[in-house]
Structure 1
């Protein structure tokens, strides 16, 4: 692929990043490159067990076909020292550059690219290939269907990183053919693969959260994903095209994908199911998803953060909510790019490399068979739980009919409680007398006996109830536990409101719903808990964002006073 001797010496700035490591190995595998790995770590630390990336690099270092140099792109002299003597520079920056703040990201991404361009011009570097991102045209307000290079930069990028990458890419393209430097940029879409620290880890974070209970987004939402090996291959193709097809490639940007658009949801499920996570069944309406995306976005803007603990959910929900597919015909025609790894193979390789994030499926299966549901534990897991959760439908039905009959007898027949009790006892007496005439075995049922163990348990329960009530009263008397005071106060208020003022109606609703709500909750326990978890998380994010905003405003006021 390389046509002249000088172009065999290249520098990979960001050679220890996700894409950079794959690019370095691919260059070394070709065998006709002398690769200088430049990165921001002071010294190179290799893993002797990493046969895919570090072992090939270690072998190349020992033979002299590779070398390592420290580089700080914020310092032009450092960049000159790293690239001096080379004729090709691949610039692959890290997507974690904006972890701290906007200024830090700007100095690394934008100012860093300016330093690299200036250093390349001073060192007479012939070609600069910049690894950008397809997100430079994405604003998360409009969908992109088969978009091509005629798309303009997004007026409002989805995050700070994309905005800075757009500025850096434009700077690279504008520098083309200045002082003999030829430049081009690649825009890979949703890069994934072994070593990924963004896409798949974010999916796993979402799978472990309350969002995992629900299908997010639409089944028809399509996206282009790019396996990392194909990105490395495309960068090398772009360098070769700058040599042979200079006019049609230099100063241009090209979208790079796997050429296999796929449903975002299906892609994510294939990844997660490969790691042992289960497929959710409940689908959120699009309106609810849009509202939650808006709330999360507002909280992110308030805290001025793009890479905090909640960004995984934000990014994945955004990804699932919009179609973003790109036309790679320009890359195919001008730089002769075609994927070297299919999407299926890429997904399989990625899953295998992330086995440490896999969920222990066997323990989950055992939990499903041997662990009681939360509702069964709440009800004590005994006879009451069996009845209210309809484990024995016949017994539960008879109990339900009995409860309804008693409620009707005591509260709906317009008799006093004493009169209703007397009539019920009279009916029971006639029934028992008549049954005793028909069966001599009835006497065994009328024999009342309480075992010593049963009586001990009964007394122990009474003592526990008494001690618990005493503890509550003592805590209230001390006046220190406001949470307990509010709970008791609210409970007494509702007791007065419903049980005292509307006792028959309240009791009827409790009896009826006790046979329905417990059963329904157990059937949809995961979904209900997931929804509660999401609401709690949104509430927590809101509180954190408000506190952060308050602290920021306080700091600003203090600075103004000083």
Structure 2
């Protein structure tokens, strides 16, 4: 049969893996392809316009249909006339929204099944996930399809994928429909908008040097073209003679590159290939998990108001620190699947597809440093960070003068003020009588307006004082209501810190504070990444020591 007479549907056809499947279907000239996705119209990249997809759309061998799988009439319209449906649509797995995932992965999948049964579609191939058997706590080494669905899913995406898969497999044989489910593990490749970009974002933020866990967890990654190839193998198996089709139908299959590798080694190869630092500092997962849980809790509150999906969430920590490798013997035996692109070649193609993410092509960080932001990015920051060296030196001289006249001499306030006024008066008198040039150097006269407080500055000062006062009053009002525990703890901690600082003498404060203020912030700005790295190394070491001590204590208790 010619390709013009046979139609297939790819749901979620503009997704990462689905795009590669669409390209492969067109190149193999197997079917005319109906691409279904949420966007009202298809937008092609320049490469797609000039490639097989662009030509297929122009010739009519492919078309695009905008559809929402949660609307059954739309699903019926999309699937009508199709011989096979590749059901790949799913929300972004990093968005942990139970309502969203259930509506698409379960209700949407049931709509697809019902439409396929009603319209007498011959084959339905579902894109599931290897995570349906993974609880994030117990590692999986060479796991096969005998593993049951986990009772404690990693997240809502995995839970609803498992439910959708169960419905797909249960529908096998209904009104002649043959079904199967593919479980790819950790897809990577050109066009990935999640894994590689998130690694680069972490590297640019100086976080690529850290690894979660001991770094020995084994993983199975799957190059995206192998995922597409697995779908075609599944369709061919289901379309084969009765004995082969019946053996392949109604089953789930793990799909990988069949080349297990340490997760952090694979990550290192990507980062090094793009010119970034290889991860080397190990941070125990248990040390990061409480922070991740707080971040996820905050996201649940503020996510509906536009907060971006955070990278540090519990499900991701578990994925980064546990082993996950799977056996593909069943897919090889029943579907005839074998990877067509080796892992090394897949990595090479992936790295070549991201020239814009390479370290040498990244713009230098813009905006103020962490130290500058901490200091308010104003005159104080310019002074303490030596941005304006003249201003910094003058400030230092003034502070040294204040120290010797007010603090070191242990003078009374009246005596210190008198000395200060005396010095200022003598300086101004001499300065006023100096000629315009002394030994060839021009003497800049201090204008009288320098000592005047302008009306505008007076107004700004008054507003600042009033604003601070009103802010303090608002805090007191909130405390009086007695329902803001977060504010209460902030006030208590602030007052405790203030009382601690108040116990320090002015002399000690100057001796310690001046060198710290004028050296520490400057050094931190110049060596920000190195200092952050040292801090996290110390934190990692501390967590490891705590873990070792805990294990020894628990071990000694068991012996007793």
Could you give the per-residue CA deviations for residues 193-229 of structure 1, whole angstroms, max 9, x where no partner exists? Answer: 2222332333344345474564444322332221111
Equivalence for 1:180: 176
Contact 2:268 2:279 in 1 (8 A): no
Q: TM-score, normalised by structure 2?
A: 0.68
Contact 1:499 1:507 in 2 (8 A): no
Bigger drift between 177-186 and 200-209 goes to: 200-209
Q: Does 1:202 align with 2:194?
A: no
Alignment of 1:309-328 (within 5 A): 309-314=308-313, 316-328=316-328
Equivalence for 1:335: 335
d(CA) in 2 for partners of 1:481, 1:89:
64
Q: Does 1:502 align with 2:505?
A: yes
Alignment of 1:376-415 (within 5 A): 378-381=383-386
State the superposition RMSD in angstroms: 5.0
| Larger relative contact order (Cα-Cα within 8 Å, sequence gap ≥ 6) | 1
d(CA) in 2 for partners of 1:185, 1:14:
16
Q: Does 1:153 align with 2:149?
A: yes
Could you give the per-residue CA deviations for residues 336-379 of structure 1, whole angstroms, max 9, x where no partner exists? Answer: 211112223323333333344445557549x9xxx999699653
d(CA) in 2 for partners of 1:306, 1:19:
30
d(CA) in 1 for partners of 2:77, 2:360:
48
Distance change in 2, residues 1:472/1:221 (3 Å): farther
Distance change in 2, residues 1:327/1:484 (3 Å): farther
Equivalence for 2:51: 55
Deviation at 1:121, TM superposition (A): 2.0
d(CA) in 2 for partners of 1:498, 1:63:
77
Could you give the per-residue CA deviations for residues 223-248 of structure 1, whole angstroms, max 9, x where no partner exists? Answer: 22211111000011111222252243
Distance change in 2, residues 1:56/1:497 (3 Å): closer
Structure 2 gap ranges (5+): 376-380, 394-399, 412-437, 476-492, 537-560
Which of the residues 464, 483, 487 maps onto 1:475? 464
Deviation at 1:493, TM superposition (A): 10
Contact 1:76 1:115 in 2 (8 A): yes
SS of the residue corresponding to residue 202 of structure 2 reads: helix
Equivalence for 1:86: 82
Deviation at 1:169, TM superposition (A): 0.4
Q: Does 1:17 align with 2:15?
A: yes
SS of the residue corresponding to residue 464 of structure 2 reads: helix
SS of the residue corresponding to residue 292 of structure 1 reads: helix
Distance change in 2, residues 1:136/1:7 (3 Å): farther
Could you give the per-residue CA deviations for residues 30-67 of structure 1, whole angstroms, max 9, x where no partner exists? Answer: 12x1223131357653537224x773123234445434
SS of the residue corresponding to residue 151 of structure 1 reads: coil
Aligned length: 472
Distance change in 2, residues 1:372/1:116 (3 Å): closer
Contact 1:293 1:318 in 2 (8 A): no
Distance change in 2, residues 1:58/1:511 (3 Å): closer
d(CA) in 1 for partners of 2:228, 2:7:
17
d(CA) in 1 for partners of 2:195, 2:300:
21
SS of the residue corresponding to residue 157 of structure 2 reads: helix
SS of the residue corresponding to residue 10 of structure 1 reads: strand
d(CA) in 1 for partners of 2:503, 2:446:
33
SS of the residue corresponding to residue 82 of structure 1 reads: helix
Contact 2:37 2:67 in 1 (8 A): yes
SS of the residue corresponding to residue 325 of structure 1 reads: strand
d(CA) in 1 for partners of 2:144, 2:159:
19
Distance change in 2, residues 1:263/1:98 (3 Å): closer
d(CA) in 2 for partners of 1:373, 1:478:
26
Contact 2:70 2:107 in 1 (8 A): yes
Equivalence for 1:431: none
Deviation at 1:167, TM superposition (A): 0.7
Contact 2:134 2:150 in 1 (8 A): yes
Which of the residues 221, 226, 230 maps onto 2:217? 221
SS of the residue corresponding to residue 12 of structure 1 reads: strand
Which of the residues 103, 120, 123 maps onto 2:119? 123
Deviation at 1:451, TM superposition (A): 5.6
Deviation at 1:452, TM superposition (A): 4.7
d(CA) in 2 for partners of 1:273, 1:214:
14
Equivalence for 2:415: none
Deviation at 1:128, TM superposition (A): 1.2
SS of the residue corresponding to residue 109 of structure 2 reads: helix
SS of the residue corresponding to residue 152 of structure 2 reads: coil
Q: Does 1:254 align with 2:253?
A: yes
Contact 1:13 1:92 in 2 (8 A): yes
Alignment of 1:342-353 (within 5 A): 342-353=342-353
SS of the residue corresponding to residue 125 of structure 2 reads: strand
Distance change in 2, residues 1:512/1:186 (3 Å): same
